[in-house]
Structure 1
Amino acid sequence: MEKYIDIIQNSYSGYWRYLKHELISVNHWDNYFYGLIIISLVVWGLEIAFPWRKNQSIFRKDFWLDTFYMFFNFFLLNLIVLIALSNTLAELFNDLLSVFGLTLNNFQLLQINELPKAVGLFIFFIVSDFVQWNTHRLLHHVPMLWNFHKVHHSVKEMGFAAHLRYHWMEPVVYKSLLYIPIAIIGGFDAQDVAFVHFFSIAIGHLNHANLGWNYGPLKYILNNPKMHIWHHAKDLPPTSKYGANYGITLSIWDYLFKTDYIPHSGRDIELGFHGDEHFPKDFINQELYPLKKQDD
């Protein structure tokens, strides 16, 4: 037990030092704090210059709430719970394997850093995106998880910051399901992972932005605003009662597994979910909602 307490304490102190370094140091390209700000400002600028929904305000409904969610989920959430939880669960999993005389090395299929950099990055990106696509489907199909995911779907006007409006439990689910597949293809360089992460953040921001883009032929590969708007549609046909267009960065999984749904442009469709008029409007009550209500 003492070992796990030390892991939790070291996780908190280590992440706090990291966060202070990110805020102070601006001389490295993989700075997540300022990287998020730059990506957000660029995509917001695109929204202002090329708005798809002309009557939507620059400071749309819940703009400031979503901005708070963006920084809370991207930085403070890690400080409060995720880093300590992730490190503790990883150690627990390794201890469980050791009971059977195993380690993660027994399951490792390859070492990314032994491959050409482009190939290694591609494999890491494809594996992580596919696992996240499946996790996203679970959030819609499992009632308990859907109650957490409702926070994200309570968005009524789409904009870049809506990308990171989600309940703190979601990354716990994502990271837990992603841990083993990523561990099996271990050997990642931190800067390479940062490159993939920034790319995913940029695509995620664009998907939620007030932009009418679908990237032409690339729409069958990359998720895009015209596709993702239908993921947030309040009304979907019975064939898609659990949702559609689950793609995180890539749209190809939806086309391959027949979960794509884009009947028309979707520019003016109503967003949300049935019963969202009763959903809390403030951060604290949105976070508490799944703990109070487990139906639907």
Structure 2
Amino acid sequence: MTLQESYIEVVKRSYSGYWNYLKHEISAPDWDNYFYGLIAVSLLVWLLEIIFPWRKKQPIFRKDFWLDTFYMFFNFFLLNLIVLIALSNATAAFFDDLLGVFGLHIGSLQLFDVDRLPRVLGLFIFFIISDFVQWNTHRLLHKVPFLWNFHKVHHSVKQMGFAAHLRYHWMEPVVYKSLLYIPIAIIGGFDAQDVVIVHFFALAIGHLNHANLGWDYGPLKYVLNNPKMHIWHHVKALPEHAKQGVNFGLTLSIWDYIFKTDYIPEDGRDIELGFEGDENFPKDFMGQESYPIRWKKPSGS
């Protein structure tokens, strides 16, 4: 079998494996079921929005509610089926093959195995490293013009609500997972249950960050990202000293406080959200997905 054929085989196995997994997720509810877990977390946070609304004049079915709901299920499930699983597995195979040229394999780069640590400590290490890598990746999405064009989809939200969490272009998780693969592989030893626990915690915090809730968690605001902090990440009029963004934290806010990218000048309940020029940004799913392909750099810039 040629190298090209082996990669094609990886992609085929990825598609069939994920399709079978997706059918199982929908037909066989379990405690670690992503499909029903997403629905449960979403309904819970939406209920909190209804009971404790921060922006009281904002409708329950806010602007783009159904578009963001579609994005939730597309990005969480269909995106994986269409491209992400196959691409991730092919990337992993390519990286392993590349190491093989130098007589190495991913196991030889492994610094330590978290299986040898107490489970709670292993989970903590996994979570901290994942969140820090993703914080840096999020900064790149704002600072690199090519990546910012994809990230504009997420920042096109004009009214915040839980489902806005998963409004993003399909290219974003490709970037996140590619940059996360090596550090996680070097540590190694994580099992599926570890990933599920960390994933659902991050999902819940992400939903809360985008929800119509005026919470900051008191002293925990310096550790956990929160709605009052994250709304400033979506502010349209960025401060002069940080035109490429502020408050990049996903689950943890501590990185922003450590690296001085935090910005909460006042109560942000009624600030305008978006980005400069968003009035010309597509309002529909297909338009937003195709925007980075059609975008042309303004002349003179």
TM range, smaller chain:
over 0.9
**Structure 2 counterpart of 1:72:** 74
1:21 has 2:15 as partner: no
CA–CA distance in 2 between the matches of 1:295 and 1:210?
A: 34
* Structure 1 segments unaligned to the other structure (5+ residues): none
Q: Please point out which of 1, 6, 11 is paired with 2:9.
A: 6
- The separation in 2 between residues aligned to 1:19 and 1:214, in whole angstroms, is 36
For residue 293 of structure 1, report the CA deviation from its aligned partner.
0.6
Shift of 1:35: 0.3
For 2:203, which of 201, 204, 207 is the aligned residue? Answer: 201
Aligned to 2:35: 33
Whole-Å separation in 2 of the counterparts to 1:76 and 1:18: 12
Distance 1:246 1:294, change over 3 A: farther
> So what's the TM-score if we normalise by structure 2?
0.97
Distance, in Å, in 2 between the alignment partners of 1:90 and 1:190 is 17
TM-score, normalization: structure 1?
Answer: 0.99
Q: Say whether the 8 Å CA contact 1:129–1:249 is kept in structure 2.
A: yes
Cα distance in 2 between the residues matched to 1:200 and 1:234: 25
Please give the secondary structure, in 1, of the residue aligned with 2:195: helix
Following the alignment from structure 1 to structure 2, what is the Cα–Cα distance between the partners of residues 196 and 143?
30
Q: State the alpha-carbon separation in 2 of the partners of residues 168 and 7 from structure 1.
A: 21
Contact 1:147/1:294 (8 A) holds in 2: no
Give the C-alpha shift of residue 238 in structure 1: 1.2
Correspondence list, 1:154-233, <5 A: 154-233=156-235
**Could you tell me how far apart the structure 2 residues matched to 1:294 and 1:183 are?**
37
More displaced stretch, 163-172 vs 235-244: 235-244
Whole-Å Cα distance in 2 between the matches of residues 81 and 181 of structure 1? Answer: 22
Residues of 1 paired with 2:55 and 2:296: CA distance?
A: 34
Residue 5 (structure 1) shift:
0.8
1:78-134 C-alpha deviation (Å, 9 max, x unpaired): 000000000001100100100000111221111111110000000000000000000
Residues 56, 36 of structure 1: alpha-carbon distance in 2 compared, 3 angstrom cutoff: same
Tell me the residue number matched to 1:256. Answer: 258
Whether the aligned pair in 2 keeps the contact of 1:154 and 1:279 (CA below 8 Å) is yes
Hey, what's the Cα distance between the residues in 1 that align with 2:114 and 2:80?
Answer: 26
Q: State yes or no: 1:291 paired with 2:293.
A: yes
Structure 2 counterpart of 1:239, one-letter code: H
Task: Render the CA deviation track for 1:223-268: whole Å, top value 9, x for unaligned.
Answer: 0000000000000111110000000000000000000000001000
Match of 2:51 among 45, 49, 52: 49
Q: Of residues 113, 121, 124 in structure 2, which corresponds to 1:122?
A: 124
Q: 2: distance between equivalents of 1:131 and 1:49?
A: 35
User: What's the CA shift for 1:294?
Assistant: 4.3
Distance 1:290 1:127 in 2: 30
Q: For residues 4 and 167 of structure 1, what CA distance do their matches in structure 2 show?
A: 25
Which residue matches 2:144? 142
Query: Is residue 143–residue 295 contact of structure 1 (8 Å, CA) maintained in 2?
Result: no
2:57 counterpart SS class = coil
Deviations 1:139-180 (A, max 9, x none): 000000000000000000000000000000000000000000
RMSD, aligned α-carbons:
0.7
Is 1:247 the counterpart of 2:249 in the alignment?
yes
Letter matched to residue 268 of structure 1:
D
4+ runs deviating over 3 angstroms: none
State the shift of 1:295 in Å.
Answer: 2.7
Instruction: Provide the C-alpha distance between the structure 1 equivalents of 2:275 and 2:138, rounded to a whole number of angstroms.
Output: 16
How far is 1:53 from its partner? 0.1
Structure 1 range deviating more: 62-71 or 235-244: 235-244
| Separation of aligned partners in 1, 2:68 and 2:74 | 10
- Residues 144 and 294 of structure 1 are in contact (CA less than 8 Å); yes or no, is this contact kept in structure 2? no
The size of the alignment, in residue pairs, is 295
Q: Distance in 1 between matches of 2:154 and 2:238?
A: 17
Residue matched to 2:109: 107
Q: Does 1:282 align with 2:264?
A: no
State the partner residue of 1:83: 85
| Alpha-carbon distance, 1:183 to partner | 0.2
